[in-house]
Structures are given as C-alpha cells and as structure tokens.
Amino acid sequence: MSTNTTIRPGTDRPASMAAGPWVGDNKKTPFPRLRAPGRRRSVPYLLLGVLLVLACVGGFVLILLHSGDREPVLALARGVPVGHVLSTQDLRQVTVAVDPGVAVVGADQAGTLIGRPMATSLSEGALLTPDAVGAAVVPAGGQAIAALALKPGQVPTEVGPGARVSVVFVSGQTATASSPPDEDGTVWPAVVTSVTGSPSEQTTVVSVQLTEAAARQVAAVPAGQVSIVMLSAGGGR
C-alpha cells in the first residue's frame, strides 16, 4: 500500500506538514514573554527606603541647626560665697544652648573675671552672669547677714553657699513632752551666704541672710544655743 504525499516545489517537506514546526528548521518559534516575578511588589519597598533616607537627612539637619545655637560660656567649678575673689580654679567652660536675652559670660572673657569679687553666693555648676561679679548685692533691702559660730553636730556637713536653712534656737534645758519649745520666735528661715572652717577647728562659722528683725534676734542668742537645719530647694519652713 502506498501513500501519496505531495511535495511542494522548492521545499523538502510535505504540504500537509507545512504549517507545523519542523525539527531542524533554523527558524525559532516565538514564546510569550514572562514578567519578572515580584516586580510590581518591589516598588512600595523602594519608596519606603527613599522616605527613610529623607527622614534621616532631615533629622541630621535639625541636629545641626540646634547644635549651632550652643556656645561656650563660663560656669563655676566650685561653690563660692559673696565677696570671694575669683581665680582660675573657680571657673570652667561649658557649652550650652542660650536663649536670646539671657545674660551669660562667654568663655573668652575669663581673663576679665580673674581677681574680681563675687557679688553674690553661687553653687557649683551655676552659670556666671555679668551681675554675679562685682560689688556685693547682698544683703538686699530689708535683709541682713548674721554670723553663727557652730560646733560639730549643730550644722550639717552638706550645707554650703546658697543653701536654704532654718536657724533653730536650742534651749539650754532639755524640753519635755509637757512643755515643747514654741516655734514662734525660735525658728528663723535663712539662706547661707558662706561657710568657713577646717577639720582642725572645733567651730564652723556660717553666715546666713535673713530679715533684719530675725538677724537681730539670732545675734542675741547665746553662743552654742542655735543649730542649722538644711531644707530642700523648694521646701518650706
């Protein structure tokens, strides 16, 4: 049995197979182009990364702007009382952000302060102002300064210039429960202006600022019959 196969002129394949692919044909059969997987999902992550970079840059710029407002100024390296003559050891340089209108002393003016007296008592770390150096500004109007000669146990070791204290009258006789000491006229609020003394001395002299009337009363108390109670910065009487 024979099969009739018609061969088209100029071709080597049968006519019935002309439409299909032929093994060995140099022509490549085109395939549909596939999209890269995950390409559409990567766009939000790219935008998120750009926003994160912009946020970091913005934060860095803000830090630079704020740091530009900081300037070197002078502060006290230790507490000093009113009248104390400043020396190099009393000063240190700090860098702080200063609001406009706040009076401070620049670090480059340290040489102009050496040898000058303090106009008021300041504690360690306090920023120096132009008014803090020069002629004494204490006592203020209606105030007076009294000196107390105190023995060990009558003044806390933590007391220093600027501390808020109560000067308490201590009677020579021991109080009993039936006759407690009356606080009226025996407790005076004050602010310490200076403390002098040494471990070898048995007496510590504490100068306090209080009202003129209270200062006269404290000065009239016999030596050894007053003690000092240190108060918190915002404490009361």
* Spatial separation of the C-alpha atoms in residues 9 and 234, rounded to whole Å: 115
Residue listed under structure tokens 């946020």: 55
Positive or negative torsion for Cα 63, 65, 66, 70? positive
Which of 73, 74, 219, 83 minimizes the C-alpha distance to 161?
83
Per-residue tokens: 16:
């019935």
Alpha helices in the chain (DSSP H): 42-67, 110-113, 212-220
pLDDT by residue for the chain (237 residues), tens only, comes to 455 555 555 555 555 554 555 455 555 555 555 555 555 556 677 777 777 887 777 776 666 555 556 788 899 998 887 778 899 999 999 988 777 777 888 889 888 889 888 887 788 888 888 888 887 666 777 889 899 989 888 998 888 877 889 999 987 654 443 344 444 458 999 988 888 876 666 888 898 989 999 999 998 888 888 999 998 865 444
What is the pLDDT at residue 141? 77
pTM of the predicted model as reported, rounded to 2 decimal places:
0.46
What is the pLDDT at residue 131? 84
What is the pLDDT at residue 140? 73
* Spatial separation of the C-alpha atoms in residues 103 and 128, rounded to whole Å: 9
What is the pLDDT at residue 232? 81
What is the pLDDT at residue 174? 46
CA 130 to each of CA 103, 109, 117, 121, 195: distance values in angstroms, whole numbers, following the listed order: 7, 11, 12, 14, 24
What is the pLDDT at residue 237? 47
How would you classify residue 224: left for phi > 0, otherwise alpha for psi between -120 and 50, otherwise beta? left
What is the pLDDT at residue 172? 63
